[in-house]
């Protein structure tokens, strides 16, 4: 979950490295560091804390050197500290390395290296890698890296430089992302696309166990056996301004307001002559008609998308759906069947547990489709087919527009499958297509709840406990609403199926406890109202999220309303999430915390 950048070319290297790390800071902000060659010697600068600390330390340093590597850290092994920060050096200071991932057998390797006289200075697993490369180094950095990784177990992306070979950067990946940017007379590598876009749109995506030797005017690739291999570049079309705040105070707020555009960009290309085209999923009509089961696998917010997806696919397309948390999927030894589809969902396409689940499904011969935002990512490449969400770059750690476009993708899949399977009438299908096409407008209208949300956030930001309740798709949406609040405001928050309150949870309701009740489903309104009355009887302060047509039902039972635009009940989660995102944002703002960089979290979880 750390961020890596490396550059070789004619520019001054420190500003390039700091600029790249700025674009990658969402991947980790416990510490940061750079290593560069200056007068034939490797110089290292690193600082604990956010990137600004490193930037201040680097100010005033004058060097014309044009080769270096940088790192922004999310701590796994060893506490956040200057010593544990990357880059790490070998004993003689002639090799520097940065690392994203986890080396699982580092303890055994460390003991082996200590017996050979190596002295360690940090608590990290990463330092093992640089000493191991040094052990195998006899003038050929590519060869040393290749021999070292044969002994490593776990996940890693390394970028390595040596003062003995001052014209190259060597890098390798296994289960951690690494992208190589090709430009004229300069080349750059990074963990994610935003760090490259200032310099090039032509990139190479490394596969597992591929090694790259990057010079300023050449890029060569090798397999684990040292055999040279050829790779094709991919053109990245993302708008570079998406990596800038564009006048907003935070990326999260900007990305909340980008949701109408993201929904439009995701839906419009798939609507062809009034028909939703899901051919990108790699499933034809015969497969859909014979489909016996769908398993949706994801982590975090994407798993909440999966739960909504289960409701809508089962209801509309009449296909049984089970949802698995990716980190549990392969460890429960899943039994997959013929005529089954596995769908994996990931914003980054590099989520380690989701990649492992994908590989488990493929090992059982089951077709795997990916819903993913990043073109060329590992999940997109390894799945049988990729259905891209066109959210664009998402920088804030807490997902907003990526979540909503994933949600829309589930609806497109449900309606397309229902039409093929004959479980929906033409009239119902046409209504659904019309409603989905209006979602960007509905999202724009929902954003007008800003002032009402701000008022609630100001009144309630000191709460220590918040509960979200709902039924059906409203419960699935409540899980995401709760996660948004807890991950950035650090308020203890839970989501419960409203009908489960009396089975224990209601014991936690005290006078003035904030309960957010989401109620958008006509067939469940009366049931949810009963649950609201239950918590009100215990003194809860209730905020009800509903539509105008249901408001009268709750007038006597709640303290505040957030009234959504009129929308078909089944599609309500796509806009209901917007005020929930805004509530988390404004509560966090009132608490004075960093909205974009919540503690202990990173954007892309590339380790188990």
Q: Compute CA distances 448 → 227, 266, 348, 546, 562, whole Å.
A: 58, 22, 29, 15, 11
pLDDT at 60: 79
pLDDT score of 607 more than 60 = no
As given in the structure block, the two tokens for residue 50 are: 């956010």
Q: Please check the confidence at residue 418 and state whether its pLDDT lies above 90.
A: yes
pLDDT tens per residue, range 486-536? 999 999 999 999 888 788 888 888 999 999 999 999 999 999 998 899 999
Closest-CA residue to 529 (of 504, 511, 551): 551
- Dist CA 26 CA 48 (whole Å): 16
* Average pLDDT estimate for 260-273: 95
Residue-level pLDDT at 257 = 96
> Chain-wide mean pLDDT for the chain?
92
Residue 1 has pLDDT above 80, yes or no: no
The tens digit of pLDDT for each residue in 293-327 reads 999 999 999 999 999 999 999 999 999 999 999 99
62 has pLDDT over 80: no
Token duo for residue 231 = 């790779």
The stretch 9-26 carries a mean pLDDT of 89
pLDDT of residue 29: 72
Is residue 407 within 8 A of residue 573, CB to CB? The reply is yes
E-strand ranges in 186-270 read 187-190, 202-205, 210-215, 218-222, 228-229, 234-235
Q: Distance of CA 226 to CAs 160, 232, 334, Å?
A: 17, 19, 37
- Are 76 and 100 within 8 A, CB to CB? no
pTM: 0.82
- Output the CATH code of domain 447-595: 3.40.50.10490
User: Which residues are designated catalytic?
Assistant: 2, 603
The mean per-residue pLDDT over the stretch 194-199 comes to 89
Q: What is the mean pLDDT of residues 69-73?
A: 92
Those residues whose C-beta lies under 8 Å from the C-beta of residue 545, and which sit 6 or more positions away, are 516, 517, 518, 519, 520, 561, 562, 564, 576, 579, 580
Domain boundaries, the chain: 3-237, 240-437, 447-595
Determine the pLDDT at residue 573. 96
pLDDT of res. 595? 93
Pick 3-237's CATH classification: 3.40.50.300, 3.30.420.10, 3.40.50.1980, 3.60.20.10: 3.60.20.10
- 359's CB contacts (< 8 A; 6+ apart) are 382
The phi and psi torsions of 246 (rounded to 5 degrees) equal 60, 35
Identify the bridge partners of residue 518 per DSSP, sorted by sequence position: 545
The fraction of the chain above a pLDDT of 90, given in percent, is 74
Residue 267, both tokens:
């839906």
At residue 39, the pLDDT reads 86
For the segment 355-375, the average pLDDT, to the nearest whole number, is 94
> Percent of the chain scored above 70 by pLDDT?
97
Distance CA 31, CA 81 (A): 7
Domain 240-437 identical in fold to domain 447-595: yes
Rounded CA separation 44/36 (Å): 7
Residue 288 has pLDDT above 70, yes or no: yes
* Beta pairing, strands 385-388 & 367-372: parallel
Does the structure show a pLDDT above 70 at 547?
yes
Mean pLDDT of 142-149: 96
Answer whether 358's CB lies under 8 Å from 383's CB.
yes
**CATH number of the 240-437 domain:** 3.40.50.10490
> What number is the average pLDDT over the span 254-274?
95
Distance between CA atoms of 83 and 90, rounded to whole angstroms? 14
User: Is the pLDDT score of 65 beyond 80?
Assistant: no
**Rounded-to-integer distance, Cα 253 and Cα 385, Å:** 32
Tell me how far apart the alpha carbons of residues 542 and 533 are, in angstroms, rounded to a whole number.
10
Q: List, for residues 207-261, the tens digit of each pLDDT value.
A: 999 999 999 999 999 999 999 999 999 888 776 666 677 789 999 999 999 999 9
Q: Is the pLDDT of residue 78 over 80?
A: no
- 497-511 confidence digits (pLDDT tens): 988 878 888 888 899
In this predicted structure, what is the pLDDT of residue 240?
Answer: 66
Tell me the average pLDDT across 47-51: 87
Q: Residue 463: pLDDT above 90?
A: yes
């Amino acid at each position: 979950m750390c961020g890596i950048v490396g550059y070789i070319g004619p520019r001054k290297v420190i500003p390039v490295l700091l600029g790249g790390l700025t674009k990658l800071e969402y991947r980790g902000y416990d510490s940061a560091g750079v290593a560069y060659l200056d007068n034939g010697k490797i110089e290292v600068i690193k600082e604990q804390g956010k990137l600004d600390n490193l930037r201040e330390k680097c100010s005033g340093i004058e060097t014309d050197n044009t080769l270096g590597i940088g790192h922004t850290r999310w701590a796994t092994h060893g506490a956040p500290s200057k010593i544990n920060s990357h880059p790490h050096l070998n004993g003689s200071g002639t090799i520097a390395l940065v690392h994203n991932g986890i080396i699982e057998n580092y303890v055994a390797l460390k003991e082996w290296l200590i017996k050979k006289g190596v002295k360690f200075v940090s608590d990290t697993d990463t330092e093992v890698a640089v000493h191991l490369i040094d052990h195998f180094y006899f003038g050929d950095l590519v060869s040393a890296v290749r021999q070292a990784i044969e002994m490593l177990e776990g996940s890693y992306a390394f970028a390595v430089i040596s003062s003995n070979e001052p014209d190259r950067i060597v890098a390798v990946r296994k289960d951690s992302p690494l992208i190589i940017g090709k430009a004229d007379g300069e080349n750059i590598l990074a963990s994610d696309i935003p760090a490259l876009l200032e310099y090039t749109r032509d990139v190479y995506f490394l596969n597992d166990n591929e090694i790259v030797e990057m010079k300023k005017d050449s890029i060569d690739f090798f397999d684990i056996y040292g055999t040279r291999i050829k790779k094709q570049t991919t053109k990245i079309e993302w708008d570079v301004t998406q990596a800038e705040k564009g006048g907003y105070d935070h990326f999260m707020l900007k990305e909340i307001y980008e949701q109408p555009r993201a929904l439009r960009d995701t839906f419009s290309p798939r609507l062809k002559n009034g028909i939703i085209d899901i051919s990108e999923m790699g499933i034809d009509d015969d497969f859909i008609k014979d489909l016996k089961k769908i398993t949706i696998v994801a982590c975090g917010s994407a798993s909440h998308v999966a739960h909504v997806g289960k409701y809508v696919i089962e209801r509309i397309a009449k296909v049984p759906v089970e949802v698995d948390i990716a980190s549990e999927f392969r460890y429960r030894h899943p039994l997959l069947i013929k005529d089954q589809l596995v769908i994996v969902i990931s914003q980054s396409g590099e989520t380690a547990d989701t990649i492992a689940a994908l590989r488990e499904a493929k090992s059982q011969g089951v077709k795997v489709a990916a819903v993913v935002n990043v073109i060329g990512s590992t999940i997109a490449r390894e799945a049988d087919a990729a259905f891209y969400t066109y959210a664009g770059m998402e920088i804030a750690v807490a997902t907003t527009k990526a979540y909503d476009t994933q949600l829309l993708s589930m609806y497109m899949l449900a309606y397309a499958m229902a039409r093929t399977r004959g479980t929906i009438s033409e009239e119902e299908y046409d209504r659904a297509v019309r409603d989905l096409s209006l979602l960007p407008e509905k999202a724009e209208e929902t954003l007008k709840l800003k002032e009402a949300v701000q008022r609630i956030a100001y009144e309630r930001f000191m709460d220590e406990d918040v509960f979200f309740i709902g039924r059906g798709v409203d419960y699935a949406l409540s899980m995401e609403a709760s996660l948004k609040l807890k991950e950035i405001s650090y308020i203890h928050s839970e989501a419960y199926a409203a009908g489960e309150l009396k089975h224990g949870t209601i014991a936690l309701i005290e006078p003035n406890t904030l309960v957010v009740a989401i109620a958008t489903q006509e067939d469940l309104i009366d049931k949810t109202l009963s649950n609201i009355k239950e918590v009100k009887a215990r003194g809860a302060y209730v905020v009800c999220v509903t539509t105008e047509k249901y408001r009268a039902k709750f007038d006597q039972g709640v303290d505040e309303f957030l009234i959504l635009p009129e929308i078909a009940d089944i599609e309500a989660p796509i806009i209901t999430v917007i005020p929930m995102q805004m509530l988390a944002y404004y509560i966090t703002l009132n608490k004075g915390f960093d909205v974009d960089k919540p503690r202990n979290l990173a954007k892309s979880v590339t380790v188990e």
